[in-house]
Amino acid sequence: MNASPGAMDAAKRQIDGTDPFDGELAMRGYALNAMCFSFNEAENREAFAQDEEGYMTRFGLTLEQKEAVRNRDVLGMLNAGGNVYYLAKLAGIFGLNVQDLGALQTGVSLDEFKANLLAQGETMRRSAA
């Protein structure tokens, strides 16, 4: 079955305040995610630290992606097709952890984000009892 592009867009899941990571976003962010995946190797993390511009060029990042990386703009990287699981590798180079990324994604402070996680856990434990 061949669906037209318009039909596919109409069926796209909508979540207020976020772009679901789908095939379109994955294709848009391929270069950025490939670069971040490369950070699984220590020598690649070191190469990036030594020459960020050259490393980004090597992976073919778009201007939008390069600008987001230069500015340490995690939300910009997400909007440019970055997948949070790959971006976690880059965030680690910047001294951020996954909870920092979650706080940035949700627009709250790190402390608020942690409190929300704990509150959610409490609610789930109570409802399971």
pLDDT exceeds cutoff 50 at 1: no
**pLDDT digits over 82-108, tens only?**
998 898 888 889 888 888 888 887 888
Strand partners, 18: 15
Contact 62, 80 (CB under 8 A): yes
| Domain boundaries along the sequence of the chain | 20-96, 97-129
pLDDT exceeds cutoff 50 at 15: yes
Map 37-94 to HEC letters: HHCCCHHHHHHHHHCHHHHHHHCCCCHHHHHHHHCCCHHHHHHCCCCHHHHHHHHHHC
Token pair in block for residue 24: 């379109």
Averaged over 28-33, what is the pLDDT? 95
The DSSP 8-state label assigned to residue 108 in this structure reads S
If you average pLDDT over every residue of the chain, what do you get? 84
CATH topology of domain 20-96: Protocatechuate 4,5-dioxygenase; Chain A (1.10.700)
Q: What is the pLDDT of residue 31?
A: 97
Contact 19, 82 (CB under 8 A): no
Contact 31, 65 (CB under 8 A): yes
